[in-house]
A and B are shown apart, each in its own frame.
Chain A
């Protein structure tokens, strides 16, 4: 086993373990902070997959933005709401969670199926890309390519996402407005 493999297993263990704690923990705040560890483990996995740009983006967006906002929402909500959440019968394995378990199990089946059927070592599109020389070496800066592709080939999805974000922004502004004045 070489170093990259050892690192991969460490990262995978950190990611999965912390995700499990996020799901099981009764303390909501600790769950949120544990989620931070999960996201970091995921970023580490991206780095191991030589996708450093994705890894850093993951940290900027999830850790710097979304996680802090979740914490914000958490700390701004009243104590009674939080107590109600903490009080509820929160056994991890119980009959009430049956549907969730079935759903999760089905997802697992689908994912395992995908992993085994896909034959990741011999994907056709990877093969053709290798044959036609349509690859970017690891040591070169991939961001220029990402930028060009976003602005040419994937312009429509890119713009669609920006419109979606815009709608969310307008919606948030509308929700936070005081009633009665309008």
Chain B
């Protein structure tokens, strides 16, 4: 029975982490946006405005729970839950460190890719259930965008999988450091199996994966509906897109899902391309930095730092780039990213056969 208790504890821990991360993310978003726009951001509530997020949460809990009269009640009530659960389920397969993974399934990557697609369904549900033209327009845009961008993202992932030869995220992570069982070559020439560090990350094992990483990162921005791809909730045209009608806790759930999605896609990017929980410090002769900084606790620290850095880049991009138009969005996806991703996949095959 203890066996099942652990499962519940792990699930609860992940949920707590998601909540904490969302609080941190909202605060960071406010402060970073303020910095970029030469403002101060929240300053009044608490020192440096750190109480702003708890204050926002308190406000959300107090808000009236409104269901529009013409809404499809079941769909409307279920939508935020499904949106959040779709993202939250993805966390089950993410490795945090060597041996620390909630569910070590051998098709982990494929599972995450599949489970994320539930979010689209939740968004469509929200759009239809709200019975509001802005909501449905936002939902349609979101679904079109997510479906389109799944293709370049998927091919970028396949490029990595062809190099790694496994779909298990823990194994992919293991290959990119000093713990690797097989030979790791930097750029396909220099054997760095015992040097480790940044040199053995996937983006340096095969340089074309750097391109694949950029493709994946752009596509992941679109999949999590972040600016510059936030036309589903373009506030200048659609009020707030698919979540226009949501109030209070339901809105909080949608918000939670958005931030969890940011973290999830960053985690997947880090695991596949940027060395997962492996240290960035290489062994330099007798100074075995990589060996010293590899371990369970170190792994969690490294992966957290890397994923948070990627989230930081997402926030930075959001407040720097303007929103793209629909046609620009589709052009970017189908005419630039998809062919490039195909090329990456092709190079991966050649690389695996002749270089590695």
> Number of B interface residues, CB 8 Å?
28
Contact: B107 with A143, CB < 8 Å? yes
Contacts of B140 in A (CB 8 A): 72, 75-76
B308 within 8 A of A: no
From residue B222, how far is it (CB to closest CB) to chain A in Å?
A: 15
Find B74's partner among A30, A59, A68 (CB 8 Å cutoff).
A30
From residue B296, how far is it (CB to closest CB) to chain A in Å?
A: 24
Contacts of A17 in B (CB 8 A): none
A56 within 8 A of B: yes
| CA distance in complex: A76, B141 (Å) | 12
Given A68-B143, A75-B136, A63–B121 Cβ distance below 8 Å? yes
| CA distance in complex: A36, B128 (Å) | 15
From residue B123, how far is it (CB to closest CB) to chain A in Å?
A: 10
Q: Which of A59, A60, A64 has the most CB of B within 10 A?
A: A64
Contact: A60 with B113, CB < 8 Å? yes
| CA distance in complex: A77, B140 (Å) | 13
From residue A1, how far is it (CB to closest CB) to chain B in Å?
A: 17
B124 within 8 A of A: yes
Interface residues on A, range: 20 to 34
| CA distance in complex: A63, B105 (Å) | 21
Which residues of A (27-83) have their CB < 8 Å from a CB of B? 27, 29-30, 33, 36, 52-53, 56-57, 59-60, 63-65, 67-69, 71-72, 75-76
Determine the main DSSP class of B at the interface with A. helix
B324 within 8 A of A: no
B343 within 8 A of A: no
Contacts of A36 in B (CB 8 A): 121
Contact: A59 with B143, CB < 8 Å? no
A141 within 8 A of B: yes
B29 within 8 A of A: no
B111 within 8 A of A: yes
From residue A51, how far is it (CB to closest CB) to chain B in Å?
A: 11
From residue B214, how far is it (CB to closest CB) to chain A in Å?
A: 24
Which residues of B (25-64) have their CB < 8 Å from a CB of A? none
Find B118's partner among A53, A63, A65 (CB 8 Å cutoff).
A63
Given A59-B117, A68-B147, A71-B143, A33–B107 Cβ distance below 8 Å? no
| CA distance in complex: A59, B147 (Å) | 14
Contacts of A141 in B (CB 8 A): 106-107, 166-168
Chain A, residue nearest B129 (CB): A29
Contacts of A143 in B (CB 8 A): 106-107, 167
| CA distance in complex: A101, B341 (Å) | 49
| CA distance in complex: A64, B223 (Å) | 13
Contacts of B167 in A (CB 8 A): 141, 143
Contact: B150 with A56, CB < 8 Å? no
Task: Known A-B contacts: A68-B117, A71-B121, A72-B144. Give 4 more (CB < 8 A).
Answer: A64-B117, A65-B147, A71-B124, A141-B167
Q: Closest 5 CB pairs between A and B? A: A64-B117, A59-B114, A141-B106, A60-B114, A56-B114
Q: Chain B: residues with CB nearer than 8 A to chain A?
A: 72, 74-75, 105-107, 110-111, 113-115, 117-118, 120-121, 124-125, 127-128, 136, 140, 143-144, 147, 150, 166-168
User: Can you list 7 pairs linking A and B with CB atoms under 8 Å apart?
Assistant: A52-B107, A59-B115, A65-B117, A71-B121, A72-B143, A75-B124, A141-B166
